[in-house]
Amino acid sequence: MIGKVWFRFPGEESVCLSGQTAVLHTAPREAGFLFMPFDRDMPGVWINGEKTEAQAAPGRYNIPEANQDYLESDYYNRASYMAWVEEAREAIRSGMLEKVVTARSLFRALPPRPEVWYPAACQAYPDAAVCLIDAPRSGLWLGASPEPLLHWKDGEGYTVALAGTRRSDGAAFSAKEQEEQAYIGRFIEEVFQARGIAFERGPAEEIAQGSLRHIRTRYGFRCAYEQLWELARSLHPTPAVGGYPRVAALQLLQRERTARSYYAGYFGRWTPDEISLWVNLRCGRLYRNGILQYAGTGITADSDPAAEWLETEMKLGVLGKILV
């Protein structure tokens, strides 16, 4: 079956790729675009194709009927989300883990307008990776991600540790947010060391996406193309979207209501010469009667449940800004 994806990475022009889709279990053998779910044991979606065309806005697309099950199974209101955060804090205090990323979804009932929303996101967020993917297995998703998972070209690559969320005009990052950043960096270094890949750590710096700021540390490395698939699989999910230690965090997240699907998975272009993968954040799935958005927050022992709820509201507002 045919799938289609429109994407615009930072510093690049918007392109459109259309081709046969396939279920992706192992490393791609040719050029194309991949879309992977949060669950690292589940296969992803592959759109085969190397030729891309400049495209300012999408054309035809298929939008599935709405699935109403999420109204009862996935929904967190303010009180129930704060209770879930408190449950996560108790698990951390008991010594089960050090950090976990909780998530919630929000359905916005409005006429879907991907042909308007995609170019609006490209314009509003020039430093984000904007993606609109329409594939039979995944459905129709729109996202504007600030977080690279893995970039590689000509033997050289980089990944980042990204954490903390503050408004652009807000206060300095707290000790709790700096602690989150440290967990992610520790995890990335453990992955490189386990795979025998030398790396260089850059300084921590602040970056902006729209009205939000984050802390970012860049890790540069060198490796062969043949190492990249397993490196990407080893990095995902990082503590920025899962938790630390990863096994314990994922066990706790089995109790989460929100069915993450492709939220906090990753997407991107894959060719033998260049790879650009991004974590699927600030995203939503489109239905005929609206869009189901997703957001998450990093929880540590010092987290304030009310503040974590407000952070999800800020993150939902990134995509919400262009949903008109």
Q: Is the pLDDT of residue 53 over 90?
A: no
Number of Cβ within 10 Å of residue 138's Cβ equals 20
Residue 49 has which token pair?
A: 């194709």
Q: How far apart are CA 67 and CA 65, in angstroms?
A: 7
Which residues lie across from 54 on neighbouring strands? 15
Residue 175 has which token pair?
A: 């000790």
What are phi and psi for residue 226, nearest 5 degrees?
A: -65, -15
Q: Is the pLDDT of residue 66 over 60?
A: yes
pLDDT at 117: 96
Q: Which residue's structure tokens are 């650009």?
A: 276
pLDDT at 182: 84
- In this prediction, residue 168 has a pLDDT band, given cuts at 50, 70 and 90, of low
Q: Is the pLDDT of residue 206 over 90?
A: no
Considering only CA atoms, which of 39, 22, 16, 29 is closest in space to residue 280? 39
Q: Is the pLDDT of residue 92 over 70?
A: yes
Q: At what angle do helices 228-235 and 175-194 cross, to 10 degrees?
A: 150
Q: Is the pLDDT of residue 173 over 80?
A: no
Q: What is the 3-state secondary structure (H, E, C) of 92-124?
A: HHCCCCCEEEEEEEEEECCCCCHHHHHHHHHHH
Q: Which residue's structure tokens are 């710096």?
A: 205
Stretch 137-141: mean pLDDT:
93
Q: What is the CA radius of gyration of the chain?
A: 19
What is the average pLDDT score of the chain? 90
Q: How far apart are CA 235 and CA 162, in angstroms?
A: 13
- With beta carbons less than 8 A apart as the criterion, state whether 195 and 234 touch: yes
Which residues lie across from 20 on neighbouring strands? 2
SS3 state of residue 243: strand
Stretch 125-146: mean pLDDT:
94
pLDDT at 87: 97
From 51-55, 262-266, 314-318, the region with the lowest mean pLDDT: 51-55
pLDDT at 74: 67
* pLDDT tens-place string over residues 222-261: 999 999 999 999 999 999 999 999 999 999 999 999 999 9
pLDDT at 135: 92
Cβ-based neighbours of 254, under 8 Å, separated by 6 or more: none
Q: Is the pLDDT of residue 51 over 90?
A: no
Cβ-based neighbours of 107, under 8 Å, separated by 6 or more: 70, 71, 75, 290, 291, 292, 293
Q: Is the pLDDT of residue 57 over 60?
A: no
What are phi and psi for residue 199, nearest 5 degrees?
A: -145, 165
Q: Give all strands (DSSP E) within the chain, no chain letters.
A: 2-8, 15-24, 32-36, 44-48, 53-54, 99-108, 129-135, 139-145, 148-153, 156-167, 199-201, 205-209, 212-222, 243-244, 266-270, 274-279, 283-287, 290-299
pLDDT at 175: 77
Residue 189 has which token pair?
A: 């270094």
Q: Is the pLDDT of residue 291 over 70?
A: yes
- In this prediction, residue 215 has a pLDDT band, given cuts at 50, 70 and 90, of confident
* pLDDT tens-place string over residues 11-29: 999 999 989 999 999 999 8
Enumerate domains of the chain plus CATH numbers.
2-320 (3.60.120.10)
Stretch 113-117: mean pLDDT:
93
Which residues lie across from 92 on neighbouring strands? none
Q: Is the pLDDT of residue 40 over 70?
A: yes
